[in-house]
Amino acid sequence: MSDRRSTRILCVLACSTLALALASHGIAQSGATEKNAIYYNKTGWEHLGRGDRYRAILSFKNALKQNPRYREALIGLGRAYLGTEAYEESLKLFADVLKVDRDNHEAMTGMGFALMGMGRYEEALKLFDGVARLSEDNLEARYGMASIYYLMNKRIWAVRKLDGVLRVNPYHYQSLLLMADIKTDDGRPAEARSYIEKAIESDRELPDAYVKAGEIHYRNYLRTDDTDYLEEAREEFGRALSIQPENYQANRSMGYVSLALDRGGDALAYFQKSLSSFSRNPVTLYHVGLAYERSGDEAKAIEHYARALKYAPSDDIVQSKIEDVLALGDSKIGHPLRVGYANEHFARARRKAKHNLADEVLLHLRRALYLNPMHREARESLRDYYATLDYYEFFLEEQKALLRIYPDERLQDQLATAVIKRRDRLYFKAGFYEEPPVRDVPGLIVLNLWPAMGISTYHDAGAVLAGYLSFTLGQFGRQEAVKPGKRLEMTRGMKDGEAFLGDNIEKLGGLFRDEDPDRMRIVVYGSYRDANGFLSAQFRIMDLSRGVIIDEFELTESGKDNLSRLALRAARRIYSAVPYRGRVLSVGDDGIVVNMGSLDGVATGDLLVMYRYEKSFSGNKIAAKRRLVFTVNEVDTL
């Protein structure tokens, strides 16, 4: 019995030993096949070195999943995110590294590029300059400084920094590509091409140089309208995609080309593919919306514009774009986005009112009603502002609109009182009982602006900027700007760019002759730069009848509300440049009445100069030109 028992024990021990051996073998096999954080980090840097940011992001994320504090993987993921324009995410990663290693130069330069992408140029410059002082051999910091100078249109400073980098390393890849951009801006395509070829020579497996070559061809197309350049651009972008099919910039650039060729479906496919590496990229989401808009799907367009604005809430161009689509398209007044954005503008107006910024208050109140005409608080506030400014006709219009929308006894009494008070106004006493007299101010139209250099961040930013300026001019006198909706109709089919200005003006001349051939017309045109929240524009104001430039100026704004601030400053400058133009309505014993008013900047006590031409008795020749000077005694709105 004892023998059987010992045999059984031995059998159990043998089986247990075998099971343990098998288990140990399985564990050993699993440990041999499992990839650790070091492996994923190494693979991520290899992908990043080849410009494959999508696979680099996946590898670095796998490394950080196993070791969330892996410093090199944090820096690698941050650099990969820079390539997909995920600047806020990359900034957080570099900040995490600097918390534990505050002297890490790679993290400091990476943070500089992230801040540059977010439009915080001064902070980025300080970082780059600090790294360059600590480490004279750090070429990335010097390249970063050159990039910021280029974006700020300080090209001489940018070239100096790039020359310094290329003296140390003649094949510094990104510096060569930036130099190609500068040479293209200077109209030296052969030199630009030589820099690109040098970059390709330094690393033929990187797609960025091919993308840059395609961008230069695309810029030439925008400048000349020669479709051969589009085909050459497609070839270069195709080479980039053959190296790396998921390349973010190449796919997005192919989308631009497809939009130019009016291939909305192809454009949509390329933009959606470019979203694969970073689905929250606001620039790409904007262009997905634009592709849907061009193909006639307004609902999808609004959805993607709204997503773009969600991830870039401070981007005025994106907000202005979606507002125009909502207000000028088929969306109902009660659309939730129209109501929401109107409320935002009303809140902005209240904030501006605390700082006594009357023009900005008016702009945002008008914008709120542009989106939601039923916004009672905005309309009441606008009415009260018109009363304060003594724009009585506008005050009366808003009072009538309030009664029409919200009929009640209190508003009816207020309107009755306002109508009675109107009898004491100048134009009523002059015989204009129902409506103010017809105006003789010049008609004004703003043409789409064109990119001053490079490829614009947003494909149709020039049209968005022109539309916003047209809207803003509506609160200034001395001119009557074409409203945004009609402006879109009038400029449809026009090419944007200085090379096409003559054709565009000729088309406008024909349209104006059909409407009112005797009216003075003014055209505003120019170029713009839009990069990372930094917005600048150069404007020219032309008297269309004489072809004379009556003023030209350049403005720059950055940060939140950059578009609205720039448009308001431009509108003020245009208002001051437009000449006074009016007509004598009636002549009495004690003076004359003319059709200009406080909206045009006329105030009591001003001197009004007019000229009277007297014909000779012998024929139709002018015998004398008399200068008449009048003192303004009373002013009405218009």
Confidence of residue 8 (pLDDT cuts 50, 70, 90): very low
For residue 370, pLDDT beyond 50: yes
Residues 6+ apart with CB under 8 A from 527: 449, 450, 451, 452, 498, 537, 538
User: Quick one: average pLDDT of 117-128?
Assistant: 90
Dihedral-angle region of residue 559 (phi above 0 means left; psi in -120 to 50 means alpha; beta otherwise): left
CATH no., domain 443-577: 3.40.50.10070
User: Quick one: average pLDDT of 454-469?
Assistant: 91
pLDDT digits (tens, 9 = 90+) for 533-547: 788 999 999 998 888
Confidence of residue 618 (pLDDT cuts 50, 70, 90): low
Cα distance from N-terminal residue to C-terminal residue, the chain: 123
Looking at 20-34, 481-495, 601-615, which range is the least confident one? 20-34
Cα distance between residue 62 and residue 369, in whole Å:
50
Helices first, then strands: H and E counts in the chain: 28, 10
User: Quick one: average pLDDT of 435-462?
Assistant: 88
C-alpha Rg value of the chain to the nearest Å: 33
pLDDT given at position 623: 62
The domain spans of the chain are 37-260, 443-577, 584-631
Q: How far is CA 553 from CA 201, 313, 526, 559, in A?
A: 42, 29, 10, 21
User: What is the chain's length?
Assistant: 638
Percentage of the chain beyond pLDDT 90 is 55
DSSP assignment of 337-391, as one string?
HHHHHHHHHHHHHHHHHHTT-HHHHHHHHHHHHHH-TT-HHHHHHHHHHHHHTT-
Looking at 204-218, 267-281, 359-373, which range is the least confident one? 267-281
- Nearest of 364, 311, 299 to residue 337 by alpha carbon: 299
For residue 10, pLDDT beyond 70: no
Looking at 45-49, 243-247, 264-268, 510-514, which range is the least confident one? 510-514
Looking at 13-17, 322-326, 502-506, 610-614, which range is the least confident one? 13-17
Percentage of the chain beyond pLDDT 70 is 93
User: Quick one: average pLDDT of 447-469?
Assistant: 90
pLDDT given at position 321: 96
pLDDT given at position 466: 96
Confidence of residue 619 (pLDDT cuts 50, 70, 90): low
pLDDT given at position 191: 92
DSSP assignment of 440-485, as one string?
-PPEEEEPPPEESSS--SSTTHHHHHHHHHHHHHTT--SSEEPPHH
pLDDT digits (tens, 9 = 90+) for 258-297: 988 888 889 999 999 988 767 888 999 999 999 999 989 9
pLDDT digits (tens, 9 = 90+) for 560-575: 889 999 999 999 999 9
pLDDT given at position 31: 40
For residue 163, pLDDT beyond 80: yes
pLDDT given at position 617: 60
Residue 598: how many other CB atoms lie within 10 Å: 17
CATH of 37-260, picked from 1.10.3720.10, 1.10.287.3510, 1.25.40.10, 3.40.50.12780, is 1.25.40.10
Confidence of residue 621 (pLDDT cuts 50, 70, 90): low
- Nearest of 220, 242, 240, 245 to residue 230 by alpha carbon: 220
pLDDT given at position 34: 63
User: What average pLDDT is seen over the chain?
Assistant: 87
For residue 15, pLDDT beyond 80: no
Q: How far is CA 471 from CA 160, 363, 370, 467, 484, in A?
A: 41, 9, 9, 6, 6
